[in-house]
Amino acid sequence: MNSTPLTWRETMAWSLLGVVLFLGLWSGLTTSGLVPRQFLPPPQEVASRFIQLLTSPFAGATLPQHLGSSFMRYAYGVLLAAAIGVPLGLLMGWFRLLDDIVTPIFDGLRFIAPIAWVPFAALWFGTGIGGPVMIIFAGAFPPCLINAYRGARFVEPRLIEAARMLGTGHTRMILEILLPAAVPSIVAGLRVSAGLGWQSLVGAELIVAAAGVGFMMVQAQGSVQTATVMTGMVAIGIVGMIIDVLLRQGEAWLRRRRGLEA
Amino acid sequence: MGSILFQNVDKVFGPASSGVKALDNINLEIAEKEFVAIVGPSGCGKTTCLRMVAGFEAPSAGLISVSGKKVTEPGPDRAVVFQQFALFPWKTVRENIELGLRNKNLPAGERNTLVGSALKLMNLETHADAFPHQLSGGMQQRVAIARAYVLDPDVLLMDEPFGALDAQTRVVMQEELVRLARVNPRTVLFITHAVEEAVYLADRVAIMTRRPGRIKEILDVRSIRQAENWDRFQKIEDVMDLESFVHLRTHIWKSLREEKGSQSI
């Protein structure tokens, strides 16, 4: 292992080299004829398809419109996961009994991958909005709950003692002591949830009949338009990265504001 | 109001049969408005004594009561000042001090008046809206003391409150505490391993043995302080030079050294 930290410039240079190598390998594979062009179009073809789809519709909508529909479902799923997971996690962190009741069920349920909820969600909601939201929720919920729980459970014991000594009741204990103490952990959990929720998106949109990146990809697969399928993948990757960067910055800002090291 | 009573108190950590006996038959009575310091070698269980009065831990045998009432859980009648301050980092100085008053459901006007006088008492008025991490250790401990005092508790429990402070700050805080004790005397149980601090502050000093902790000796400092009129001095160093002070200090030192000695055999 090299122990000297790289400068920002060096890091950028190496990252760029990685991207160039990846694109080169991809390009080489397609021009060599080892892989049929139909199944692996070269990078420039995917890039031009990407640009084309920004303005011209496929499967009833342009790429930004598909992304917009996807993002709505995604937002519902993740917000619902946070709205239920965070309060439940905090309550479980304070009330031992609730912890004992919920933990076994939760431990079982969280091993069912979001994609494994697809058939069940389809049975329940058909092609409505509920299905995809449920699947995204399944991906985003566990980190919300676990991190809120851990944050509440592992608050500095002296602070709990100080609050009890001051006569603090349950409600105020949870809202004014556990919640703020758990904020760094909760925010980290929300970031993981946001990532997992976005990753569950295509699975969620397998059962969607109207619009969305996942829907677009499934339609393109049906007519063997590999470039369009890959465009969807690139778009998911880019949006996922943007979400992650934004949330990381939000997290760092919050930590600085709290006087913690970023 | 404000007395503390330890009656045949034992404390065992772990299972009763195989656990570690931390405290062995503690008997101690602290009168209303009396300032008692407990000194002892580290690990002797002196902090455990305080934590049981606070209600954070229960005795394994015996009884602890405050103002004649058995202690069962923590409460604002027994305010604690912790060694590591234990201020809420997300609350301002004012909010930290105010929390206990809000828990008592006092109206806002009354809370403001009380917080204001607590800030004034501890010279914190200019820092009311600061967050704890913006303050020095000494200032943070002032906030913790203000937070305890504002509750108007029956007893004040101080667990090595100046242990985390540098030497100069420590002296200032000790003098401050003596000043407070005169302005607003109340029952104090004070845990420390600093012998001078105990002699300077307390009415009585209880010396504990090494584990399992027992009370070995209780010294009456107040009668000597009054006989020798220590209070004519403003500064701790002047008191510490007095022969009567030195004599008491040396006595406690020797007593503690015996404990350390027997530990290493």
Nearest residue of chain B to residue A155 (CA atoms): B88
Q: Cβ of A165 and B103 within 8 Å? A: no
Residues 6+ apart with CB under 8 A from A51: none
- State the residue for tokens 């000043």: B179
Pick the CATH number of B20-77+158-265 from 3.40.50.300, 3.90.320.10, 3.10.450.50, 3.30.450.20: 3.40.50.300
Give the pLDDT confidence score for residue A44 in this predicted structure.
92
**How far is the CA of B104 from the CAs of A128, B150, B187, in angstroms?**
51, 11, 21
Confidence of residue B262 (pLDDT cuts 50, 70, 90): low
Nearest CB neighbour to A165, from listed B80, B131, B134: B80
Query: What average pLDDT score do residues B148-169 get?
Result: 91
Confidence of residue B177 (pLDDT cuts 50, 70, 90): confident
Give the pLDDT confidence score for residue A150 in this predicted structure.
94
Q: Cβ of A162 and B100 within 8 Å? A: no
> ∠ at Cα B40 (B37, B41), nearest 5°?
155
Residue B221 C-alpha, separation from nearest chain A C-alpha, in angstroms: 30
Closest Cα partner for B96 from A163, A108, A203, A178?
A163
Domain borders along chain A are 1-40, 42-257
Q: Hey, is the C-beta of A108 within 8 angstroms of any chain B C-beta?
A: no
A259 φψ region: left (φ > 0), alpha (ψ -120 to 50), beta (else): left
**Partners of residue B151 in chain A, C-beta under 8 Å:** 166
**Partners of residue A159 in chain B, C-beta under 8 Å:** 86, 88
Closest Cα partner for A160 from B144, B88, B147, B92?
B88
pLDDT above 90 for B1: no
CATH architecture of A42-257: Orthogonal Bundle (1.10)
Query: Cβ of B75: how many Cβ atoms within 10 Å?
Result: 20
In tens digits, what is the pLDDT along chain A, a chain of 262 residues? Answer: 556 777 888 889 999 999 999 999 999 988 888 888 888 999 999 999 999 999 999 988 999 999 999 999 999 999 999 999 999 999 999 999 999 999 999 888 888 888 888 888 888 887 778 888 999 999 999 999 999 999 999 999 999 999 999 999 999 999 999 999 999 899 999 999 999 999 888 788 877 667 899 899 999 998 989 999 999 999 999 999 999 999 899 888 887 877 654 3
CA–CA gap between residue A194 and residue A184 (Å, rounded):
15
Alpha helices in A56-109 (DSSP H): 63-94, 96-109
pLDDT above 70 for B263: no
Give the pLDDT confidence score for residue B259 in this predicted structure.
81
Q: Hey, is the C-beta of A176 within 8 angstroms of any chain B C-beta?
A: yes
Q: Hey, is the C-beta of B93 within 8 angstroms of any chain A C-beta?
A: no
pLDDT above 70 for B249: yes
Domain borders along chain B are 20-77+158-265, 89-152
Element (H, E) at B191: strand B187-191
Give the pLDDT confidence score for residue A262 in this predicted structure.
37
pTM, two decimal places: 0.85
pLDDT above 60 for B264: no
Q: Cβ of A172 and B104 within 8 Å? A: no
Q: Hey, is the C-beta of A158 within 8 angstroms of any chain B C-beta?
A: yes
Give the pLDDT confidence score for residue A261 in this predicted structure.
45
Q: Cβ of A259 and B84 within 8 Å? A: no
Report pLDDT digits (tens) over B78-130: 999 999 999 999 999 999 999 999 999 999 999 999 999 999 988 999 999 99
Closest Cα partner for B61 from B28, B29, B30, B24?
B24
Q: Hey, is the C-beta of A160 within 8 angstroms of any chain B C-beta?
A: no
**Partners of residue A163 in chain B, C-beta under 8 Å:** 88, 99
Confidence of residue B261 (pLDDT cuts 50, 70, 90): low
